[in-house]
């Protein structure tokens, strides 16, 4: 009997997921003679055994589609909501694959998916992952599919905002996705000619941003564009955040749960951050300030050619790894080649923007402000 593999997509959607599904499926079917099923709605579908057959007809015509034909969710195998309880369903998921004759699972997702896949691998499931996220923050790979499309969308938005900012002589703040890392805001900020870019990796001081924008006006610049990662944070709040994270990471049992709750409460206080930043800058500079929040528009639509190429390359390599019985790995993009990285090295780590990254150095040479 031909080997049977399963595919699921988990976490947030991103352009390129369907291209990856198509590549895995077509390579598995045509080159390696495998059978392929797709689990619906992430790990939740794996638990419920909800699946579809991924044959040639199912894979046809999906290369250019955004989103994922399999659906997705943020359900976690070890903390699954069952009724009014949170239950560890990893053993049940492993048993489900055995009952269905699925010999291996390929999971497409971001940092959380890498951790969840490793959790299943430790329970005996044969797992391969692909790195997907518009944030480009999965450790072990230089690029994640979804990032290039989102970068294009964010850059085009900044391009369009230039004209209205110039016409009305305003500061316009554009909030760009990136809760923990600033790759997207940094890349689109440079490509779109933003004057200030605020990243989670570089805590900012509001007075320094105001000074930078005021100097621009004094030199004759009649508008400014500020690109802000949704996770950008002021220096004083960054200190509090780091203290809370350390408390969570270095405690156990009830203390850990209490620290986790305090951290969650603090995160809630950061909601509406961009609007507050705009109000503060308007008060400090005396310049009319407006905000634009791109939100989920960055995750939608047709994937760019670069994302399709990347997702296809990684998907084909994932099918090959499954055929070769090479599991417990993530298929990564390094030095323009596909590489197999041990999942234990990936899970729990994050690829943040290094402070000496060429993009940051380029921005500083251009006179771009980072709020520090």
Residues that are catalytic: 135
Stated as kind and residue range, the H or E segment containing 208 is helix 206-218
H-type alpha helices, 39-89: 42-48, 56-59
Strand order in the sheet with 289-293: 196-198, 224-229, 171-176, 289-293
Q: What is the DSSP letter of 299?
A: G
H-type alpha helices, 250-304: 253-269, 273-285
Q: Give the CA distances from residue 54 to residues 25, 48, 254, in Å, rounded to whole numbers and listed in that order.
A: 7, 18, 45
Q: Rounded to whole angstroms, how far apart are CA atoms 105 and 113?
A: 12
Nearest to 43, CA basis, from 150, 125, 138, 101: 125
Stated as kind and residue range, the H or E segment containing 176 is strand 171-176
**Residues paired with 225 in a beta bridge:** 172
Q: Rounded to whole angstroms, how far apart are CA atoms 197 and 208?
A: 12
| 7 in Cβ contact with 24 (< 8 Å) | yes
The number of angstroms, rounded, from the C-alpha of 264 to the middle of its chain's C-alpha atoms is: 20
- For 17, other C-beta atoms within 10 Å of its C-beta total 27
Q: Rounded to whole angstroms, how far apart are CA atoms 186 and 317?
A: 30
Nearest to 174, CA basis, from 183, 159, 300: 159
């Amino acid at each position: 009997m031909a080997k049977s593999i399963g595919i699921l997509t988990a976490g947030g959607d991103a352009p390129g997921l369907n291209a990856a599904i198509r590549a895995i499926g077509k390579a598995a079917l045509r080159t390696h003679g495998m059978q392929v099923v797709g689990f619906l709605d992430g790990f939740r579908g794996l638990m419920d055994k909800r699946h579809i057959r991924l044959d040639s007809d199912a894979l046809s015509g999906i290369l250019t589609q955004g989103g994922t034909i399999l659906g997705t969710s943020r359900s976690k195998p070890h903390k699954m909501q069952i009724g009014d309880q949170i239950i560890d369903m990893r053993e049940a998921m492993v048993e489900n694959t055995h009952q269905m004759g699925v010999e291996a699972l390929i999971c497409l997702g971001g940092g959380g998916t890498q951790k969840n896949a490793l959790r299943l691998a430790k329970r005996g499931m044969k797992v391969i992952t692909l790195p997907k996220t518009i944030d480009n923050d999965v450790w072990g790979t230089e690029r994640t599919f979804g990032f290039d499309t989102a970068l294009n969308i964010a850059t085009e938005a900044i391009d369009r905002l230039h004209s209205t900012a110039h016409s009305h002589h305003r500061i316009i703040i554009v909030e760009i996705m990136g809760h923990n890392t600033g790759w997207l805001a940094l890349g689109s900020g440079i490509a779109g000619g933003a004057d200030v870019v605020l990243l989670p990796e570089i805590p900012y001081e509001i007075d320094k941003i105001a000074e930078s924008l005021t100097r621009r006006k004094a030199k004759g610049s009649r508008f400014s564009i500020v690109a802000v990662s949704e996770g950008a944070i002021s220096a004083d709040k960054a200190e509090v955040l780091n203290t809370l994270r350390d408390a969570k990471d270095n405690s156990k049992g009830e203390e850990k749960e209490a620290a986790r709750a305090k951290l969650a409460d603090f995160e809630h206080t950061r909601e509406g951050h961009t609007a507050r930043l705009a109000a503060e800058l308007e008060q400090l500079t005396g310049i009319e300030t407006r905000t634009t929040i791109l939100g989920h528009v960055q995750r939608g639509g047709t994937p760019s050619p670069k994302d399709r190429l990347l997702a296809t390359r990684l998907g084909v390599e994932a099918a090959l790894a499954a055929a070769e019985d090479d599991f417990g790995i993530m298929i990564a993009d390094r030095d323009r080649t596909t590489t197999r990285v041990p999942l234990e090295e990936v899970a729990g780590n994050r690829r943040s923007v290094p402070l000496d990254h060429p993009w940051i150095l380029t921005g500083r040479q251009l006179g771009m402000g980072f709020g520090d």
